[in-house]
Amino acid sequence: MQAPQGGPQRIPMENLSKPIFAQDEMGRPFIIVKDQGNKKREHGIDAVRSHILAARQIAKLLRTSLGPRGLDKILVSPDGDINITNDGATIMSEIQLSNEVAKLLVELSKSQDDEIGDGTTGVVILASSLLDQALDLIEKGIHPIKIANGFDKACKIATENLELIADEVKIDTESVDANLSKDSDLFKAASTSLGSKIVSKCRDKFARMAVESVLNVADLDRRDVDFELIKVDGKLGGSLEDSKVIKGVVLDKDFSHPQMPKQVTDAKIAILTCPFEPPKPKTKHKLEVESVEEFKNLQEYEQSTFKRMIEQVKQAGANLVICQWGFDDEANYMLLANELPAVRWVGGSEIEEIAIATKGRIVPRFEDLTPEKLGHAGTVREMALGTTRDRILVIEHCDNPKTVTALIRGSNKMIVDEATRSLHDSLCVVRNLIRDNHVVYGGGSAEISCSLKVAEAADKQQGIDQYAFRAFSQALDVVPTSLAENSGLDPIQVLTSLKAEHVKQKNAYLGVDCLGNGTNDMRQQFVIETLIGKKQQFLLATQLARMVLKINDVIISGKDQY
């Protein structure tokens, strides 16, 4: 490749590599592509290699967070916010990346998060491990796409094997509360997913919260869980132990007047989206008051509107007003005088939530208020949190019991945030189990079993696929080895002995004993992962590997945004 002479010096030479660059007979370079000098290009195996190295870098970052003994990361955002987490998706979304392939990995963990909500670390590690293995094969001279094809086939075998070794967990549909007991499968599953998180010291509490909230909103016949109905609210103060599930709606508001009663039982709620003030036309208008009499009239009009509004509310039978807008002190006083507790400035989505929970209707005008449109809740009370002056409103015993709010307390913001994320993960696990109660066992046992299966199939392959199969099988080993490493065990020894046991005992449930419970049988330890989650991990990781392997030309244009 001839490097052009005298080109602009600031550009490294490889930028002007041959294909988008030509020379005339005199060897003088001429430009074909716009802003060529600003474009960077990488070609062939080099491109693949640099991608794989980038992926490896990312995986290295996440690897120590895998498993119950995984460590947390502190992430400091550009504006100085501190975030402590070991949730793969969160870490990936917080770190600022400039490498394109690394960005692909971020999206990978994100889509695992969106779909399954758990296993976000594992998928990234698996993908990068696959790429790592592919690199060896590429260096041997195997065509990247053939490797990708082989991976696809191997992945198919692995997912088939997953279905074979999958187990069913019991969900007690008869008595829902039975699932809340410590021995129930759902509870244990939720507890496992919390194992690696900061909340592990009160994991029973959180597991219970997760199961309780999901079961509350779950439709067990349709096997569906609507996450919109579960709200997770973090509040600073107190300890993690004080967290709880409230079957109802929690509002970050208080009653509009301090003298209003702090608790309303058997509340009939008027949910309003209009302000407590004389209605104003939307069209631009101007009222010219020309005489004192007019002015008095105006005042009277305002007074009478207030009165009428309160009357209308009373007439409808409401004893609590929840208003999307504000009202001034005068209105506030009148509400107090009329013994109508009220809440003002409630956000639109909360209004909706309350309406759903209390089976009320959102009313846009006072004229439209009727008794049927009122929502109903058993108790509405104001709750003070600790000694702070923060107050929250709790609406409980609603007509529609499906809405739940998980209130998370913690001593600092980072803990609250991380606990919120952890709870979300375990909510996802419980939801997935309700959707599909097939599980595979964790601790790397599923990976080891698949790895053995794929390795076995490798020998039956003809041609290059053999290599790809072996590579796939080795790539799967990364999960148990990382788990062992993070738990302070000897990874190689653990892996090899486990593999030997798998073959000897024909027991697919043997995994890494991360917590030192004395048994490797994950079924006994009840360390489970959902089948769909694991399958998804395999599929997504293989898909990404194919995508990266297929790229052999990278053209990055101008850095003009800098």
Active site residues: 87, 120-121, 425
Instruction: Give the separation between CA 469 and CA 149, rounded to whole angstroms.
Output: 10
- Does 286 engage in binding with other proteins (CB under 8 A)? yes
Q: Quick one: CA torsion of 165, 170, 173, 174, rounded to 10 degrees?
A: 140
Which one of residues 12, 80, 259, 287 is an interface residue with other proteins (CB under 8 A)?
287
- Does 189 engage in binding with other proteins (CB under 8 A)? no
Q: Which segment (188-196, 290-298, 331-339, 437-445) binds other proteins by CB under 8 A?
A: 290-298
- Does 283 engage in binding with other proteins (CB under 8 A)? yes
Of 96 and 259, which CB lies nearer to other proteins in the complex structure? 96
Of 269 and 514, which CB lies nearer to other proteins in the complex structure? 269
Binding mask 526-545 for other proteins (x = CB under 8 A): ----------x--xx--xx-
CB 406 within 8 A of CB 209: yes
- Does 53 engage in binding with other proteins (CB under 8 A)? no
Q: Quick one: CA torsion of 249, 253, 259, 262, rounded to 10 degrees?
A: 20
Phi/psi at 61 (5° precision): -65, -40
- Does 282 engage in binding with other proteins (CB under 8 A)? yes
247 alpha carbon, distance to own chain's centre: 22
Of 414 and 547, which CB lies nearer to other proteins in the complex structure? 547
Shortest distance, position 301 Cβ to other proteins, whole Å: 5
Which one of residues 284, 389, 504, 506 is an interface residue with other proteins (CB under 8 A)?
284
Which one of residues 1, 12, 25, 488 is an interface residue with other proteins (CB under 8 A)?
25
- Cα–Cα distances in angstroms (integers) from residue 71 to residues 18, 421, 486, in the given order: 47, 15, 8
- Does 290 engage in binding with other proteins (CB under 8 A)? yes
- Does 556 engage in binding with other proteins (CB under 8 A)? yes
Closest residue by Cα to residue 318 from 275, 354, 266, 278: 266
- Does 32 engage in binding with other proteins (CB under 8 A)? yes
Binding mask 249-278 for other proteins (x = CB under 8 A): ------------------------x----x
Helix residue ranges, H only, 68-220: 88-94, 100-115, 120-140, 144-165, 185-194, 203-217
In the region spanning residues 107 to 126, those forming contacts with other proteins, defined by CB under 8 A, are 107-108, 110-112, 114-115
Which one of residues 71, 298, 492, 500 is an interface residue with other proteins (CB under 8 A)?
298
Which one of residues 126, 342, 351, 508 is an interface residue with other proteins (CB under 8 A)?
351
- Does 35 engage in binding with other proteins (CB under 8 A)? yes
- Does 402 engage in binding with other proteins (CB under 8 A)? no
SS3 536: helix
- Does 492 engage in binding with other proteins (CB under 8 A)? no
As given in the structure block, the two tokens for residue 77 are 């955002």
Of 34 and 506, which CB lies nearer to other proteins in the complex structure? 34
In the region spanning residues 354 to 383, those forming contacts with other proteins, defined by CB under 8 A, are 355-356, 361-365
User: What is the amino acid identity at position 117?
Assistant: G
Shortest distance, position 243 Cβ to other proteins, whole Å: 25
- Does 552 engage in binding with other proteins (CB under 8 A)? yes
Tell me the sheet residues that pair with 219: 224
In the region spanning residues 138 to 157, those forming contacts with other proteins, defined by CB under 8 A, are 143-146, 149, 152
As given in the structure block, the two tokens for residue 450 are 């698949």
Instruction: Give the separation between CA 220 and CA 136, rounded to whole angstroms.
Output: 48
CB 338 within 8 A of CB 314: yes
Shortest distance, position 551 Cβ to other proteins, whole Å: 5
- Does 21 engage in binding with other proteins (CB under 8 A)? yes
Shortest distance, position 440 Cβ to other proteins, whole Å: 17
Instruction: Give the separation between CA 290 and CA 381, rounded to whole angstroms.
Output: 48
CB proximity list for 70: less than 8 A, separation 6 or greater: 64, 86, 121, 196, 486
In the region spanning residues 208 to 237, those forming contacts with other proteins, defined by CB under 8 A, are 228
Kindly report the three-state secondary structure assignment for every residue of 308-335. HHHHHHHHHCCCEEEECCCCCHHHHHHH
User: What is the amino acid identity at position 184?
Assistant: S
Instruction: Give the separation between CA 414 and CA 416, rounded to whole angstroms.
Output: 5
Shortest distance, position 415 Cβ to other proteins, whole Å: 26
CA angle 446, 179, 175 (to 5 degrees): 135
- Does 301 engage in binding with other proteins (CB under 8 A)? yes
Other CB atoms within 10 A of residue 35 CB: 10
- Does 103 engage in binding with other proteins (CB under 8 A)? yes
Phi/psi at 120 (5° precision): -75, -30
- Does 62 engage in binding with other proteins (CB under 8 A)? no
Number of residues binding to other proteins, judged by CB under 8 A:
89
Of 28 and 182, which CB lies nearer to other proteins in the complex structure? 28
Instruction: Give the separation between CA 162 and CA 160, rounded to whole angstroms.
Output: 5
